[in-house]
Amino acid sequence: MSGSFDANREDLVVGVIGAGAMGQGIVQVSLQGGMRVVLFDAKPGGAAAGADLVAQRLDRSAERGRLEPDAVAEMKTKLTVVDDLSGFAPCHAVVEAVFEDLDVKHAVYTELEKHVTPDCIIASNTSSLPISSLGRPCAHQTRFAGFHFFNPVPLMRLVEVIRGSSTEDWVVEGLVKLGERMGRTPVVVRDHPGFLVNTGGRAFTTEALHILHEGVAVQAQVDAVMRDCAHFRMGPFELMDLTGVDVNYPASLIMHEQNSYDPRIRTVPFHKSLHDAGRFGRKTGHGNYRYDEAGKMIDPPSPDHVSDAAPAERVFVAEGSEIFSDLLAGTAMTEIDDGESPIVAALYGEDCSTFAARRSLDHTRLVAIDPTGDLSKRATIMTPPGANPAARDAVAARLNANGRAVVAIKDSPGFIAQRMRAMIGNLGCEMAQIQLATPEDIDLAMRLGLNYPLGPLEIIDDFGTALAYRIMSTMQEITGDDRYRPSPWLRRRALLGLGAKVPS
């Protein structure tokens, strides 16, 4: 079957099945796009209640001057509540937004197809179920696709248009135009477990959990570094507590399984411990942090390393002298080891132990500093096992004297921000490699869907592909873990000196 769909027709009718939070949001943006909307919910009275809540939100927008009162009054007249799916007969597109149960969704589509025309687009707002599996019972699978919004729909600009194995071009093109009319920014995504945003978002949380699991740093340290040095709005553990461990832990298991147990997706036992203990985050008052009834963090631990040591007067610069003139201003820097002063090094992907052994240095005096990211407010330092705390404290005191807060961590390939940003970027490269979406749409989706300061491929270009490849390769070599294997997309562009977004 081939059809046509004009998203800009004046008499366009959109159906929404499910009047929960997501369904209400889809109704609202459809009305604001000038469309007529038909709403159904299987729960008696559910559709009417959902419609009332949409009307209340539109009224509040008018009161705050965001919408014209006359426009809101007209929108309300375009919303119709129906008692069964036969009321969807006039619809040109229907968006299903019921709970994530394959059998329930299949039953909805089977019944729906009895009432809509063959060229009516049927789309699912699913966030996790494969589009090809969802469309299997449809008599016309070619007009079925994913249309994945983000909560809260009226505020989140992104919508993923997911092409199933049978979806025809006119459906994808129609949903893109429909998303634009709803005021959203559509990205076209290939059918894949977790689609684009939920796949790309794995690295932020799971790599932070691995850093914690390995005893490298605690939650407050990781969160502070990712906010101050990498410019994320929230740290990964703060975000985990906000979304809820009861949500993100099961999602991590599903994503790991559906991606053939790819080690880049796996979580750690601590994540399970939080879940099993019922420490879900803000909603329970305790997750990675403790919260009061208003959701405010109680006595958040300080991430800062503090000592009463005197600032280092002299250091031996073993590697990375170009960054130390600012960070360690006021310190005499030498390239000759006097056998007493702290040894400082700027490392990429390497840990202190490997570097000290490779260079035959006195590891007890070695203090490594992450040279990547924004170092204007905070710096991350690490030391190897057996290090002399006096060397660490003297370097930290000098950084403090020069206006930087300091996070002091245990030995780790890639520190915190360097390691996490490289993992986020590498996963973005892998999504480009498997053609999940275009490089441009991968970056756009991650910025809009997760509020990332840069998209994954933009992060790689911020490093430079050669350096990003070096970081990933070094971390894989040191850990022996394929979790850190560089994507072929990254490797090829690094070897050829190309940018991360250069197409295949």
Order of strands, sheet of 121-124, starting from the edge strand that comes earlier in the sequence:
79-81, 36-40, 13-17, 93-96, 121-124, 144-149, 158-163, 185-190
Catalytic residue, chosen from 148, 192, 256, 271, is 148
Give the number of other Cβ atoms within 10 Å of residue 83's Cβ.
11
What residues contact 279, with CB distance under 8 A and at least 6 apart?
A: 245, 286, 287, 288
210 counts as catalytic: no
H helices of 96-201, in order, are 102-112, 131-134, 169-181, 197-200
Tokens of 407: 């996070």
Own/partner long-range contacts of 485-489 (Cβ < 8 Å, ≥24 apart): 485/264, 486/426, 486/429, 487/426, 487/427, 487/429, 487/430, 487/432, 487/433, 488/433, 489/429, 489/430, 489/432, 489/433
Angle at 201 between CA 226 and CA 203, to 5 degrees: 65
Are the C-beta atoms of 478 and 350 separated by less than 8 Å? yes
The residue type of 204 is F
Distance CA 371, CA 417 (A): 10
What are the catalytic residues? 148
